[in-house]
Structure 1
Amino acid sequence: MIVREPNREYNLDITDESCGVIANASALARSLPFFVYCAGQIGAKKECYTKTWYLDGVLLLVTTRGQGRFTYQGKTCVLGVGDIVFIDCTQYHEYCTLGDFWENYYIRFDGSAARTYHDYINRDGWRVLSCNDIKATRKLVGEIINLCLSPDDHAPLEISLALSRILTELAVSTHRSMETSELSPAVRQAKEFIDQHYAEQVTLEDIARASLLSPYHLSRTFKAQIGVAPHAYLNQRRLDKARRLLLTTQMTVQDISDRVGFSNVNILIRSFKNAAGMTPTAFRSKNFY
Structure 2
Amino acid sequence: MKSILIPVDFSKESEKALQVGARVAHKINAKLLLCHMAGIEELVINQNQAQAVQHNIFQLKLAEKQFSEFTDKEYLEGLVVEPVLQKELKFESIGEFASDVDASLIVMGTHGASGFKEVISGSNTEKVVRSSQVPVLVVKENDLNFNPEKIVLASNFDEEVIPAYKKVLEIAEMFESKVELIYVNLPGSNFKSTNEMDEILLNFFTKLNHPEPLSAIKKVNRIADYSIEEGIMSYAQLSQVDVIAIPTHGRTGVSRLLKGSVSEDIANHSILPVLTLKL
TM-score (norm 1): 0.24
TM-score (norm 2): 0.25
